[in-house]
């Protein structure tokens, strides 16, 4: 279900592929913030397929990290 939701939206976090990002506008500079991984920057992904791959990699890495504990 999560991948279907991603395909429906237009902006994705370049770090974790999440759609849980918000556009913040400080003065005259466009910045995005991801509430999933804490990413903060001007770059966002608009390619849903690319975001899916990033999301899969991110979740995989996250799982591996959890398993190390």
Using CB under 5 A as the criterion, which residues of the chain lie in contact with Zn ion when the complex forms?
Answer: 13, 15-16, 18, 34, 36-37, 39
Lookup result for tokens 């506008």: 25
Report the residue number, 27 or 42, with the smaller CB distance to Zn ion: 42
What sign has the CA pseudo-torsion 40, 42, 62, 4?
positive
Q: Cβ(47)–Cβ(68) under 8 Å? A: no
Q: How far is the CB of 28 from Zn ion (least distance, A)?
A: 24
Comparing CB distances to Zn ion, the nearer of 40 and 49 is 40
Which is nearer to Zn ion, 28 or 65 (by Cβ)?
65
């Amino acid at each position: 279900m999560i991948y279907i939701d991603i395909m429906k939206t237009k902006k994705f976090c370049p770090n974790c592929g999440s759609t849980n990002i918000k556009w913040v506008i400080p003065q005259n500079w466009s910045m995005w913030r991801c509430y999933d991984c804490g990413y903060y920057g001007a770059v966002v992904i608009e390619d849903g397929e690319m975001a899916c791959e990033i999301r899969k990699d991110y979740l995989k890495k996250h799982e591996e990290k959890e398993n190390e504990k």
